[in-house]
Every structure is written in C-alpha cells, then in structure tokens.
Structure 1
Amino acid sequence: MGRRRGSAAVAPILLVLTLLGLAALAVVLWPLLNARDTTELRRTTATVVESRPCGGNSPGDLVAVRVGGVERKARFDGCGHNRGQRLDVVVPRAPGADFVVRPADGATPQVDQLSSRVTWVLATVAAVAGGGYAVMLRLRRP
C-alpha cells in the first residue's frame, strides 16, 4: 500500500515539472517569434552629415547612405557622432520616403540576447528538477 501512495504523490510533481519545462520553452522561444526578419535588412556604411547632441528629445544624427545606387539622407538611431564619421548600419531593403537606419551591431537585439535567456532558463529548470528529484527520493524512503 505504501508504494501506491508514494507513486500517487509523484504524479503531481511530474506534472508541475512538465508544465515548468513548457513554460521555460515558451520564455526561450518568445523572442524568436517577435524578432524582426533580418532578411529585410541590408548592411551598408553611412556617413554622418549632421551630428545631434544626445538628450531626451534628440531625433538622432542625420546620415548619408547609399540605397539602390542613390545617396539618400536618413535619420540614424543614435546621436553624438562626429561629422564625417563612417558608421556600419542596417537599412531596410525597400525604404520609404522617411526611414531610419540603425547600428549594424544592434540590428537584432532580441536574438542576440537569446543565449543569455537560454542559460538562465535552463539553470532554473535544472534547479527545480533537482529539487523535484530530491522530493521524489525522500517520498520513496520507508
């Protein structure tokens, strides 16, 4: 009889661990679902035409960038660069009349942070699973 009671107590623990694993998987994959498709962006070089000071309402620097063989001016998602400075940027493949270029390093911050998120989620799952295993071992002792 004691064996039956112990196995019945293990079922809720396994259910909780399974739900935790599914929640961890959702937390890890969520940024991938929301991340922008990087194929819509193209890397290029921009030259700062007009520098803007950094502040609360700064629209960002004005840069010249070559899009489709034509040099166009656009706002840069950043401020305080020197006039004439060359920056590695990403530009939309089909930019509209008013477009913003972004630094090439920060083009996909959600995907870049994925490895850090995976590490923390897996460490949490491992800790909870270890705790669940310890509880299961303690329940099996007569």
Structure 2
Amino acid sequence: MMRRLRWQSLLIPVLAGIAVVVIVWWAGPGMFGSVASNGGPVTEATVTTPASCSDPNPTETVQFQAGGQTRTGSLDACGHDRNNRVDITVPSDAGPGQVNVHLADVVAGHSDLRRPVGLALLALSCLSGGAYAFLVQRRTAALASS
C-alpha cells in the first residue's frame, strides 16, 4: 500500500512539470529572450559621425536611403570609421527626422540559443522539483511507519 501511495503522490509533480514545459513551449519565442524583431527593411548606410567604444553610450550617426530620400539615423554601435558602410534595419514606422536604427546582423541573430537553453533549464528545474517531492514523500512515509 505504501508503494502505491508513493507513485500516486509523484504523479502530480510529474504532470505539473510536463504541463509547465508545454505551456512555456506554446507561449512563444519571446519567453526566454527577445523575439527577433521584424523592424523593417535592411538597407545599407554610411557612417557620418563615428563613436568610440570607450564612450559610456556610444551612438554613431549614419545616412541611408529610405523612401527615395536621404535620411539620417542614430545607430547604437561603435568602432566604425567615417564613411564605412554598414547594413542596418530601418523601423517600418519611422517618422520624419532622425531615426533610431540597429545593425541588421545583430537584430537577426539576437536570441537563437536562448529559447532551447531556457527550455532545457526549465525542464531540469521541473525534474528537480519532482525529485524533491519524491524525497519529501519518502521521508514522510518513513516517519509514519516508525
């Protein structure tokens, strides 16, 4: 009878762990890292004002073509020289004036490894919780039989 009680009490943590992993899997890619943004088209830009990487918040100024006109953008990067060409992602909802842009390759591959590693760690934590529940149940059964 104790053996049957032990496995029945373990069924709840096992099912809860499986449910948590499945729910997080279905929640989408934004659960463990930012979703690769679909910020708009990728275009080539020219660095007009470079920034040193030793600055606290380096921001470079770039010029690019968007909608048939030359636009100025604020690029959150550093280490480029004047007149270097870089690929940037321009937001699709960019209004008039200076636009905040990002390097295209940084945005595209930002969270490739976070999701599988996060799900693996979540599954391990569920397994650890089930093992802890097993040990607590086993200790309780041992004390009850004494």
Taking structure 1 as the reference length, the TM-score comes to 0.69
Provide Cα deviations, 1:76-102, integer angstroms capped at 9, x if missing partner. Answer: 011121111111111101202342111
Partner of 2:101: 101
SS in structure 2 opposite 1:71? strand
Structure 1 residues 118 and 36, CA, compared in 2 at 3 Å: closer, same or farther? closer
Per the TM alignment, residue 36 of structure 1 is displaced from its structure 2 partner at its CA by 5.0
Question: Which residue of 26, 30, 33 corresponds with 1:32?
Answer: 30
Q: Distance in 2 between matches of 1:8 and 1:75?
A: 64
Per the TM alignment, residue 75 of structure 1 is displaced from its structure 2 partner at its CA by 0.6
Per the TM alignment, residue 104 of structure 1 is displaced from its structure 2 partner at its CA by 1.1
Task: State whether residues 31 and 111 of structure 1, in contact with CA within 8 Å, keep that contact through their aligned partners in structure 2.
Answer: no
Partner of 2:141: none
Structure 1 residues 68 and 82, CA, compared in 2 at 3 Å: closer, same or farther? same
Question: Which residue of 9, 17, 20 corresponds with 1:12?
Answer: 9
The answer for unaligned runs of 5 or more in structure 2 is 139-146
SS in structure 2 opposite 1:6? helix
Q: Distance in 2 between matches of 1:95 and 1:36?
A: 20
Structure 1 residues 6 and 65, CA, compared in 2 at 3 Å: closer, same or farther? same
Provide Cα deviations, 1:5-27, integer angstroms capped at 9, x if missing partner. Answer: 32222233221122223333455
Q: Distance in 2 between matches of 1:27 and 1:56?
A: 36
The answer for unaligned runs of 5 or more in structure 1 is none
Number of residues paired by the alignment? Answer: 130
SS in structure 2 opposite 1:118? helix
2:81 alignment partner AA? N
Per the TM alignment, residue 61 of structure 1 is displaced from its structure 2 partner at its CA by 0.6
Map residues 1-142 of structure 1 onto 2, 5 A cutoff: 2=1, 5-25=2-22, 29=27, 31-32=29-30, 35-36=34-35, 38-54=37-53, 55-58=55-58, 60-96=59-95, 97-107=97-107, 109-110=110-111, 113-122=114-123, 124=124, 128=128
1:12 alignment partner AA? S
Structure 1 residues 89 and 115, CA, compared in 2 at 3 Å: closer, same or farther? farther
SS in structure 2 opposite 1:105? helix
Give the aligned CA root-mean-square deviation in angstroms.
3.3
Per the TM alignment, residue 53 of structure 1 is displaced from its structure 2 partner at its CA by 1.3
1:7 alignment partner AA? R
SS in structure 2 opposite 1:92? coil
SS in structure 1 opposite 2:90? strand
